[in-house]
Amino acid sequence: MKKILLLLIASYLISCSNDDSTTTNQAPANFTVTTEIINNDVTIFWTEATDPEGEQVTYEVILNSESISIDQESTSYQIDDLSYDTTYEGSIIARDVDGLTTTSDFSFSIGEKNNTPPTIELLGIDNGEVIQQFTDITLTWKGMDQENDPLIYTVRIGPSPGSLQQKAFNYTEENYTIDYLTTGETYYWQISVFDGLVRTDSEIKGFKVYEKVFEGDYEINNPQEMEIFDNEGYTQITGNFSLIDYTDTNSDGLQSLNKIGGNLIIRRTNLPDLKGFKNLEIMEGDLLISKNNFISNLEGLERIKKIDNGLFILRNELLSDLKGIENIAFTMDGHVSFIENSSLSNMSILEKIRTINGYLWIQGNQITNLEFPNLEEVNGEIFDNVYHQIGIKIVINGKLKKIQMPALTKASRIEIRSNILLTEVTMNSIATIENELLISSNGNLTTINGFQNLIGNSTNFSLEINGNQKLENIMLPSIHTIDKILIEQNEKLATIQLNNLENVTTSFSILNNEILEDYCSLASYAVNALEEQKEIITEGNLYNPTTAMIATREGCKL
């Protein structure tokens, strides 16, 4: 009977534990399905089912209970030669990479075949034409129907005849303006006309967007050089493009610029915005914006979807938010730096970034909350000009109160220093820091408890916590392997939680923490240290026991 009772209690505790768990992943969002029927052919269209975590979504098409397409990424599917005078039912299943699904149903009927198909003629742009613009490009056509039925059109454009993308549906005009295309590229277009019963597809025509290339680096320093650039109409710079010491406030002369093969450097200008760059789409180097005293945001850079190298935003006095770079990709392949932008208080636009393959350096800004909710890895092992490793470096942000990176699992290094109002650090998912965790001189930080899963399983990993005036508790319960530890000059430190610590390779020092008297969480490690002839050095604290005293547990606290 006693064993049965214990089993029931254990089962109840496991059930409670499972009830307390939460699901962090969510299924794709709801979406809608429409159909276009032409004779006995049907095209099924659906809106994109976005995933809350930004994961890739694929689709499965079900028709009359039969799966007819799986794992497709496009949002349309065409079925030909269906039976006339028949009703069909089906569904689209959106599935994320973790297998969570969202379903939307549809139905349609194929009528009788009794209609003369409409006809269509493409008028312009001509096949093979090179057009001398890449914005506001107009396509024209003419549709005709023998029964004079109202006509609607579908507009398709793409980089090849086999990959046309729908741009307009149920469209009634006989012209369509494309606001923007990439220079130097060839595009193909096709119009479908529908009279309510039958669809007719036009021929496919192709055209090329002009490109004017400047080979090498290009720099503009004054309005006269800006006028020359405007008159030349360059669409591509193969090297670096620099706007430096430019005193005018107008950058409209840059609107032809579409591609930069190197870095974009904007330094010491009087520009109030970056709207002259509104057609810049492709940039293969760094984006460096520094010492521009009048820029308040980054509007004008919206077309840039990927920065191939680094993002450096430095010492722009009036820059208050990062609006304008909201379309950059989930992965940053270079370094990311926001340094001494004395008005920068909002960095929320960067919340979707998942991976930074360089360093992340945030210093001297006016942000109060630093949130990267989707950032998973910062991999850069880079040294600054005095050979200090950077990794994640968050220092001297005078108004910063909270650092929240809940999805971060791995970093090359983390430095959190001299943020005088900082009270909270949340990095609960991080397991590995390859080099160093340094938390120093954060005057209002009372507890280090945001690293609950940090194991520190690198032999190069070191921990330094010093000069945090109000720090009362250090809770790093999962660390088991580390190269060295220094805990120093934390005036109010009373508790250290390193319960799972097993191995310190080089040194372990606890120095000059005025009220520290309890070392009992280190007792298990102290036993290992004695066996390996290592010491926990304690000096200048309220209580300074030897390693042997800590190991006995009787002398681990005052």
Q: Average pLDDT over the chain, rounded to whole?
A: 91
φ/ψ (deg, to 5) at 511: -135, 135
What pTM did the predictor assign? 0.75
Alpha-carbon torsion (444, 447, 448, 452), positive or negative: negative
Strand partners, 481: 503
Residue pLDDT, tens place only, 478-519: 999 999 999 999 999 999 999 999 999 999 999 999 999 999
Q: List own/partner pairs for 20-27 with CB under 8 A and 24 or more apart.
A: 25/53, 25/96, 25/98, 25/100, 26/51, 26/52, 26/53, 26/100, 27/94, 27/96, 27/100, 27/101, 27/102
Q: Residue 486: CB partners within 8 Å, gap ≥ 6? A: 462, 463, 464, 465, 466, 507, 509, 511
DSSP class per residue in 12-28: HHHHHHHHH------PP
Strand partners, 267: 244, 290
pLDDT of residue 148: 87
φ/ψ (deg, to 5) at 411: -145, 150
pLDDT of residue 113: 65
Q: Is the pLDDT of residue 16 over 50?
A: no
Residue pLDDT, tens place only, 152-177: 999 999 999 999 999 999 999 999 99
How far is Cα 78 from Cα 204, in angstroms, rounded to an integer?
18
CA angle 116, 117, 121 (to 5 degrees): 135
Amino acid at 209: V
Residue pLDDT, tens place only, 302-344: 999 888 889 999 999 999 999 999 998 888 888 999 999 999 9
Band of residue 197 on the pLDDT scale cut at 50, 70, 90 = confident
